[in-house]
Amino acid sequence: MVKVLISDKMSPKAAEIFRERGVEVDEITGMTPEELKACIGQYDGLAVRSSTKATAEIIAAADNLKVIGRAGIGVDNVDIPAATAAGVCVMNTPFGNAITTAEHAIAMMFSLSRHIPAASASTHAGKWEKSKFMGVELYGKVLGVIGCGNIGSIVADRALGLKMKVIAFDPFLSPERAIEIGVEKVELDDLLARADYISLHTPITDSTRNIINAGNIAKMKDGVRLINCARGGLVVEEDLKAALESGKVAGAALDVFQVEPATDNILFGMENVVCTPHLGASTDEAQVNVAIQVAEQMADFLLVGSVTNALNMPSVTAEEAPKLKPYMELAKQLGGFIGQVTETGIKKVHIEYEGAAAGLNIKPLTSIILQGILGPLLDTVNMVNAPVVAKERGIDVTESINDKAEDYQTLIRVTVTTQKRSRDIAGTLYGDKSPRIVNIKGISMEAQMGPHMLYVTNQDKPGFIGALGTLLGKNDINIATFHLGRNEEQGEAIALIEVDSELSPETLTEVQALPHVEQVKTLKF
């Protein structure tokens, strides 16, 4: 039975959904890393929020782990490279708390503009310092959004409703999408020079880490106000403090910090800084939403193979999964065949999707093909890490699609280039469900793969089939199916034979010794 561990506090809805779907679930929160390491090996899935640290050491101890689900957006607490190397899918829930986080950013912008936290504390203290808390309007101001993805676009929408002008820096924002959401797409230097307010909504990457630093602050307008409800590592806190003290930055509203929990920080105590303890996702609605989403995503992955919001493998929707399932089996057979017959180092893999296959979500199919090719060499490779392993080994992987297939309604062809030769294999589906191999090395044939297959290449000479059948019978090997093909009369021929049991090394040697045999391989599927 599939088993999941929920190791952080989250809405009870998550456990309910797992159990409703037939997944066994344990809720054990507050474990030390040592305790988690000791028990993680028994689970197929791990559901976390931000407290659990899924480190490389924890992942290495997770022998059965297939998926880590983060109930929220940020996955700073998950070692994604280690998970990928171990073949563990990592998912997050980027949409469950998007509105909540965007609303918090807008609330922080209001609080900063009207000194609401300080004014509230002053009034609670019995003071009436009306003139001390002179604010500024948001109306007509320029908001610069750095990172205009899901949350950033919601912030932009709310700001437009406040009659602000919104400019956005995001390398992945298309001009068409910018027009659709009503923002002006600009370069970073332009945003820094024009914005009255700057709101950060980007993940931590090599290009965004410390993006708010002394150099970029110097490019900003005097009196700019900064809002960060994304990640603490985006801001160099020492540089921001200096800018706040000099007046270059009029104020900052921060929900995230370089080190969290932030019980002490150089920005604490400054009058022009509004701070909250990472509350961006902290609403009742958001916590229920992300708990529901992570449970549904993990259950779908473990039970039906659909992949949603994965950070280290292609997505497969629940609707796509049934349609892709027979293609995945075909991809597994094509990759497995190539992987088992290839004897020298692989340089290139080219995969062609033709006909109906060209209209599919091909990324998971490519991953499965690569898994099959690399599997005979690496027993730890799977659908998650196969593309990464191929890249690490210098294998050039390319894909092409063609809406038309010459002889079949749907076809997948895999060509592998090794240090010595190129070899290709093609397959199709019969009745949209049953995989068939239809071409090997340019030789047409129709073969259905079974658990035990014998692959023989030979010269097309009289007597070979009889000699092979006699030899297998002598060794008590029963033939289930026998498929033949040749490129021309008396030319190169292929025999692909399904047998009921695996051939012994001695029998394999006898087959290799038959006249006209060039190559013999036993294949397992």
As a three-state string, the secondary structure of 358-411 is: HHCCHHHHHHHHHHHHHCCCCCCCCCCCHHHHHHHCCCEEEEEEECCCCCCCEE
Fold topology of 452-525: Alpha-Beta Plaits (3.30.70)
Continuous segment of H or E residues that includes residue 349: strand 346-355
CATH of domain 3-95+285-304: 3.40.50.720
Which residues, 6+ apart, have CB-to-CB distance to 472 below 8 Å? 478, 479, 497, 499, 507, 511
pLDDT at position 314 is 75
Dist. CA 370–CA 381, nearest whole Å: 9
Dist. CA 161–CA 317, nearest whole Å: 34
Domain 3-95+285-304 shares a fold with domain 98-275? yes
Mean pLDDT per 10-residue run, the chain (525 residues)?
94 95 95 95 95 94 95 86 88 86 97 96 94 95 94 95 96 85 95 98 85 97 97 95 98 95 94 94 88 94 85 76 87 92 85 93 91 76 77 86 85 90 90 86 88 90 89 91 85 89 90 89 88
pTM: 0.60
Domain assignments of the chain as residue spans, ordered by start: 3-95+285-304, 98-275, 314-449, 452-525
Dist. CA 248–CA 240, nearest whole Å: 9
* Spatial contact of 430 and 381, defined as CB atoms under 8 Å apart: no
Give the pair of three-digit tokens for residue 63: 């022998």
pLDDT at position 380 is 59
Give the pair of three-digit tokens for residue 413: 């062809």
pLDDT single digits (tens) 76-97? 899 988 998 888 999 988 778 8
Pick the CATH number of 314-449 from 3.30.9.40, 3.30.1330.90, 3.40.50.200, 2.60.40.770: 3.30.1330.90
pLDDT at position 149 is 83
Give the pair of three-digit tokens for residue 76: 């700073």
For the four alpha carbons of 111, 117, 123 and 124, in that order, the dihedral sign comes to positive
Give the pair of three-digit tokens for residue 497: 């034979």
Dist. CA 408–CA 355, nearest whole Å: 7
Dist. CA 148–CA 116, nearest whole Å: 27
pLDDT at position 235 is 97
Q: Is 148 helix (H, G, I), strand (E, B) or coil?
A: coil
Instruction: Determine how β-strand 443-447 pairs with β-strand 422-430.
Output: unpaired
Start-end of H helices in 268-385: 284-304, 320-341, 362-374
CATH of domain 98-275: 3.40.50.720
pLDDT at position 478 is 92
pLDDT at position 316 is 77
Q: Which residues are catalytic?
A: 231, 260, 278
Give the pair of three-digit tokens for residue 87: 């073949």
Q: Please calculate the CA angle 306-308-311 and round it to the nearest 5 degrees.
A: 120
Q: Give me the DSSP letters along 213-235.
A: SHHHHHTSPTTEEEEE-S-GGGB
pLDDT at position 432 is 67
